[in-house]
């Protein structure tokens, strides 16, 4: 692999302007194509083959009227009046609502009996003229703003319902800019020059731009989640800066040893560049494995993140070498502050000294680190996940206001409606006929946990019947899941339960079935790749165990902060917030892949030293010394980018940002500084053991220099005159 990355990099550096022009052309072409052929974004939460999925297919195929989107106009009388006293205002508001774009029909709350017992609150059901998915977020935003603006001093008006909540526009904030500003400050400290500091940030922005274009094109052939770009962009910014940082740092380190620019770039790309390709490939494989869950929203987010990381890797091994070739010695221009210190010898660094300290007493350090990680992970045992509902949205949003008003007037269950679909064309044994629908509705009404059952509606062809059932508990309550199971127990074989509450319940059930396979696949692929690179069984085993510990620590912190509410107010939350099940699943492959990043960069440097010296303890210390400053800086940048998303008003993004940040901190400190050196010292030569017969079967990948090259970099008189290195002289 090191020969591949070196060849690609030198070819790019040999023709820098051609490479840069190619990137500009590709980006421009991609955005033109995305504008012309890119798809729209929508969330596919269906668990394929589940009851809720079968029911939605029946509605879409056989009952077009019922398949149209719906929302709820909620009205509250003000200043001690009642809805009955405000009839004229209600009639005027609902008339105006009916005149808005995409509104086909609005019910009369007085005729429908949807006025609360105390007379303060009423709601009208709004039917759209198109299916929900066909509208898109901008149209829903316009509708929400239009309805919410109709309130008066006597009548409060809000728009709610699952469709409005799920299609609400994401609120923008400056959190991304803050993260990049912190990253710039860290890079200025690391490199000491403005040019070297700006380069990784610029490269990451290019990679994110390319990733966004690719994701938009992906939305044409498949349904891509509306969360795909925010999640993928979060990861893309972090890895884009980090990958460029690793390459630039190794390049500048090589230059300080007296190597010319061509040789410095060649060796940087055959070591750090190869590690970037391997680490990025691991993240790509891990995130793409989300397709194993069989859930559309997760599959699309996984593919989107894989595309974003692939763009970051491509930029790091092609565009970055081209820019370095153009800059030459100007990489050190724009010096900040005092004269930048020369690179220290390994023995003079705190990392080398700490490595030897751990090596002197590996067992106490190992036990202390494991205990600390287990303590952080312990709360994860009590984790309870749920799907986000409008009740978790920011208080100022109209769908959250509508949710609270409906709860106040009718109880929380009104926000978790179930839809029962009866397929009358199915005449198999145990199925219900048209005359049995009333009895089916009565059976459902008698189920504990169901408060009301609506009137049945029949499709024009008479084959499909649809009616609503309202539970007594909210969408995220465990009792609601129990109620759904009870309803399914009493309905005939040709009747199905759907609606967003039932869909998410089926989604969680499918996740429970597929998660073991998904997690096993991610671990197995990572294990195999590490074994191919490091020719070892112990190294990938340790990496998998340590990654699981750091992921467990991140999950434990999420439970303490969000589920238990410890310090939730500091994050802008009102109190305990349900942990989003999808976020927990999305975090796993991202965290596992990112954990591999630091593992690969550290171990590849240790392996370089071990191949050169065959001294296990010293190679660990030198590996820490060689990567310590850069990896710590990379971790700070990643943490800054991830923590910036905690400022998002969306709880799920807060969870994702905090969870990723915690895992990176744990990886960069406890795992890299304590667990890795302690275990490697204890295992000694067994770190690099692989059965001979197995070694012959495995393909060979290399991400470190040969020992002779290493010796040369440490001051040997040996020189290397590969012609390819002469292509980038400055």
Residue 408 lies in a domain: no
Q: Which of 117, 136, 166 is the last residue of a domain?
A: 166
Q: Are 191 and 299 in a shared domain?
A: yes
CATH number at residue 491: 3.30.70
Please provide the average confidence, as pLDDT, over all residues in the chain. 87
Q: Of all residues in the chain, what percent carry a pLDDT higher than 70?
A: 94
573 and 649 belong to one structural domain: yes
Out of 241-250, 458-467, 482-491, 567-576, least confident range: 567-576
Asked whether residue 52 is assigned to any structural domain, the reply reads no
Asked whether the predicted pLDDT for residue 423 surpasses 70, the reply is yes
For the chain, how are helix, strand and coil distributed in percent, rounded to 5? 70, 10, 25
Last residue of a domain, one of 166, 199, 234: 166
User: Would 723 be classed as within a structural domain?
Assistant: no
The pLDDT value given to residue 729: 41
What is the predicted pLDDT for the residue at 720? Answer: 39
Helix (H/G/I), strand (E/B), else coil: 646: helix
pLDDT in tens, 17-42: 999 999 999 999 988 998 888 887 88
416 pLDDT more than 90: yes
Q: Tokens standing for 97?
A: 């609502």
Regarding whether 186 and 133 lie in a shared domain, the answer is no
Q: Kindly state whether residues 565 and 670 are assigned to the same domain.
A: yes
| Residues 633, 189 contacting (CB under 8 angstroms) | yes
The number of domains in the chain is 3
CA angle 577–579–580, rounded 5-degree value: 120
Structure tokens at 200: 């990784």
Burial of 616 (0-12, 13-18, 19+ CB in 10 A): buried
Specify if 730 maps to a domain: no
For residue 54, is it within any domain? no
Asked if residue 55 belongs to a domain, the reply is no
For position 114, which CATH number holds?
A: 3.30.70.1430
Amino acid 387: pLDDT: 82
Match 């980018």 to its residue by tokens: 641
| Residues 132-158 pLDDT 10s | 877 878 888 899 999 999 988 889 999
Same domain, 270 and 148: no
Distance CA 626, CA 187 (A): 17
**Mean pLDDT (whole number) for 647-654:** 83
Does residue 683 sit in the same domain as residue 579?
Answer: yes
pLDDT tens digits, 156-209: 999 999 889 888 876 655 566 777 788 888 888 878 888 888 999 999 999 999
| Average pLDDT score over residue span 314-320 | 96
437 and 318 in one domain?
no
pLDDT at 53: 92
Binned at pLDDT 50, 70 and 90, residue 717 comes out as very low
- Do 702 and 640 reside in the same domain of the chain? yes
Q: Are residues 16 and 103 in the same domain?
A: no
Do 293 and 424 lie in a common domain? no
- Sign, CA torsion 284/285/290/291: positive
Residue 422, SS3 per DSSP: strand
Does 384 have pLDDT greater than 90?
A: no
Q: pLDDT, tens digit, for every residue of 61-103?
A: 888 878 788 999 999 999 888 999 999 999 999 999 999 999 9
**Are residues 190 and 328 both part of a single domain?**
yes
**Taking Cα atoms as reference points, which of 666, 681, 543 lies closest to residue 610?**
681
Q: Where are the alpha helices (DSSP H) in 157-193?
A: 162-166, 175-191
Nearest to 392 by CA among 577, 141, 137: 577
β-partners of residue 127 are 70, 105
In this structure, the number of other CB atoms found within 10 A of the CB of residue 256 comes to 11
Range of the domain at 123: 67-166
CB 218 within 8 A of CB 288: no
| pTM of the shown model | 0.85
Helix axes of 616-644 and 651-666: crossing angle, nearest 10 degrees: 160
Which of 500, 519, 551 is at the close of a domain?
Answer: 500
DSSP E strands: which ranges in 56-154? 68-77, 103-106, 121-131
Residue 125 lies in a domain: yes
| Spatial separation of the C-alpha atoms in residues 436 and 335, rounded to whole Å | 82
- Same domain, residue pair 553 and 678: yes
Strands lying side by side in the sheet with 155-160: 103-106, 121-131, 68-77, 155-160
For the cut 60, the answer to whether the pLDDT of residue 305 exceeds it is yes
Residue 309 has pLDDT above 60, yes or no: yes
331 within a domain of the structure (yes/no): yes
């Amino acid at each position: 692999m090191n020969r591949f990355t070196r060849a690609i990099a030198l070819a790019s550096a040999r023709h820098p302007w051609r490479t840069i022009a190619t990137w500009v052309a590709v980006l421009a072409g991609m955005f033109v194509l995305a504008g012309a052929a890119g798809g729209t974004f929508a969330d596919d939460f269906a668990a394929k083959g589940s009851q809720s999925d079968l029911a939605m297919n029946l509605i879409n195929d056989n009952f077009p009227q019922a398949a149209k989107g719906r929302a709820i106009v909620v009205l509250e009388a003000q200043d001690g009046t009642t809805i009955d006293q405000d009839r004229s205002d209600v009639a005027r508001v609902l008339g105006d609502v009916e005149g808005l774009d995409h509104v086909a029909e609005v019910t009369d709350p007085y005729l429908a009996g949807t006025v609360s017992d105390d007379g303060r609150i009423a709601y009208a059901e709004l039917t759209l003229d198109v299916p929900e998915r066909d509208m898109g977020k901008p149209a829903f935003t316009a509708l929400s703003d239009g309805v919410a603006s109709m309130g008066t001093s006597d009548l409060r008006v809000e728009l709610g319902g699952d469709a409005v909540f799920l299609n609400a526009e994401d609120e923008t904030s400056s959190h991304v800019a803050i993260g990049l500003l912190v990253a710039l400050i860290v890079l200025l400290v690391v490199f000491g020059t403005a040019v070297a500091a700006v380069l990784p940030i610029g490269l990451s922005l290019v990679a994110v731009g390319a990733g966004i274009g690719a994701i938009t094109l992906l939305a044409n052939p498949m349904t891509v989640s509306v969360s795909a770009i925010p999640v993928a962009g979060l990861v893309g910014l972090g890895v884009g800066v980090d990958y460029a940082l690793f390459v630039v740092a190794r390049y500048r380190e090589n230059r300080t040893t007296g190597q010319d620019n061509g040789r410095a770039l060649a060796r940087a790309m055959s070591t750090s560049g190869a590690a970037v390709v391997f680490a990025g490939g691991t993240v790509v494989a891990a995130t793409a494995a989300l397709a194993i869950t069989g859930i559309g929203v997760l599959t699309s987010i996984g593919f989107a993140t894989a595309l974003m990381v692939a763009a970051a890797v491509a930029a790091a091994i092609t565009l970055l070498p081209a820019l370095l070739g153009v800059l030459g010695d100007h990489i050190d221009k724009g010096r900040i502050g005092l004269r930048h210190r020369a690179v220290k010898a390994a023995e003079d660094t705190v990392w080398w000294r700490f490595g030897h300290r751990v090596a002197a007493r590996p067992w106490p350090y190992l036990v202390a680190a494991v205990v600390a990680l287990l303590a952080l992970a312990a709360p994860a045992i009590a984790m309870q996940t749920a799907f986000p509902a409008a009740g978790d949205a920011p208080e100022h949003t109209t769908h959250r206001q509508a949710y609270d008003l409906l709860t106040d007037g009718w109880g929380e269950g009104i926000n978790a409606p179930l839809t029962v679909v009866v397929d009358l064309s199915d005449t198999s044994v145990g199925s219900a006929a048209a005359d049995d629908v009333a009895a089916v509705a009565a059976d459902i009404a008698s189920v504990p946990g169901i408060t009301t059952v609506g009137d049945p509606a029949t499709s024009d062809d008479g084959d499909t019947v649809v009616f609503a059932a309202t539970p007594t508990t909210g969408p995220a309550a465990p009792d609601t899941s129990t109620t759904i199971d009870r309803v399914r127990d009493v309905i005939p074989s040709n009747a199905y339960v759907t609606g967003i509450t039932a869909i998410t319940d089926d989604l969680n059930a499918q996740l429970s079935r597929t998660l073991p396979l998904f997690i096993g696949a991610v671990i197995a692929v990572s294990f195999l790749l590490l074994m191919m690179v490091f020719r070892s069984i112990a190294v990938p085993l340790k990496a998998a165990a340590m990654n699981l510990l750091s992921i467990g620590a991140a999950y434990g912190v999420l439970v303490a902060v969000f589920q238990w509410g410890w310090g939730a107010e500091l994050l802008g939350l009102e109190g305990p917030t349900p942990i989003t099940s999808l976020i927990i699943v999305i975090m796993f492959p991202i965290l596992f892949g990112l954990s591999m990043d630091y593992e690969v960069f550290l171990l590849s440097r240790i392996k370089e030293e071990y191949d050169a010296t065959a001294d296990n303890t010293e190679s660990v210390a030198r590996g820490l010394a060689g990567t310590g400053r850069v990896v710590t800086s990379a971790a700070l940048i990643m943490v800054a980018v991830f923590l910036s998303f905690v400022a998002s008003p969306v709880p799920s993004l807060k969870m994702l940002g905090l969870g990723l940040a915690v895992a990176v901190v744990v990886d960069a400190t406890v795992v890299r500084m304590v667990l890795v050196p302690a275990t490697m010292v204890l295992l000694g030569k067994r770190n690099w053991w692989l059965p001979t017969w197995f070694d012959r079967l495995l393909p060979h990948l290399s991400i470190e220099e040969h020992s002779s090259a290493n010796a040369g970099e440490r001051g040997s008189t040996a020189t290397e005159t590969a012609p390819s290195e002469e292509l980038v002289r400055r």
